[in-house]
Structure 1
Amino acid sequence: RKVQGSATNSNDVRAAVEGADSILVTLGVKSPFATTLFSDSARILLQTIREMGSSPTLIVLTGFGAGDSWGYNSLPVKLLFTLLLKAVYADKNEQEQLIASGYPRWEIVRPGRLTNGAMTGHYRVLDNLAEGMRVGAISRADVAHFMVAQVENPTYLGKYPALTY
């Protein structure tokens, strides 16, 4: 079903998630400067779910570089994030912390750099952080493919799978 609204309006969120078995969260911002969209929407979503007394599976899109994956980025990527995306990733960090510490059924999906390429269905899912790991580009279509597959069979509950080619 299609519901139009704002991720930071509790009435809109309630209309969107009522009766859902799973919820995909795929937010983005146009400006790389100060934002609280990710954390504000996480708070509202969690509060709405608690009020409804339901426990759908949450499949949440953030990005590689959020949370503990920050240390596994290359130096050039760290510099880019620090210069251009610091506020966005600070807010994504808070979003991840709110979801992971405040809800029992979640997956936080961390793709590499998003592209507009076609869906291939062929990508790597890295569920353990390791020195020297490389998380590069992946198409939005392949990220969507992965997230929808997780709705049907959530194999990474309580984990932070990274997606890349």
Structure 2
Amino acid sequence: MSTAVRDDLVLSHAAITADVEAPFDRVDIAQWLKTLPTHEYQRCAPGDHKAAGYTVDDDGTPMSINVEMIGTGLVVQQYRFEVAEAHYCKMVSISDILTPSGWTTTQVIWELRMEQIDGDRCRYTNTVTSHPTEAFLKFIAEQGQTFSEAAEARQNASGRHCAVETPLYAESIARWASAR
């Protein structure tokens, strides 16, 4: 199965914001991700988020492992930290997806950003962008689905999912920062 990414094609994109009260100087998204307990992850998208963990890749790159439902697909994400800062993280995963028709893969780019608005007023932005792999394009063609149809379905499912998790992530990060 080819995991070559087609970054010229966008399968889905969502950028959702949520305002929250948090001590900005204590916010550390990278540390929050590295210590995020599974049950807290589940509270950030009840019913969809299944498990979270932290590990490193063979080369020592920190990784966040997430298992969640996006629409009808069970998605296993192995996010490699590309940027791991207190107020901004960018992670990239070649994610395995179990659909009703079988397994496939996509690339998912997850960006988490916290900006200070004024004092303890902060704005969290949760950005998720997905690109198909060559294997995904072959998989949907075998199912008789066009890329346009697959992208529309994924956009709808991912958009709904991000709308649920974004304010809950913001609250979780704020609680974590306040407890430090």
Larger radius of gyration: 2
TM value normalised by structure 1? 0.25
Higher relative contact order (CA 8 A, sep 6+): 2
Q: Which has the higher strand share?
A: 2
If the length of structure 2 is used for normalisation, what is the TM-score?
Answer: 0.24
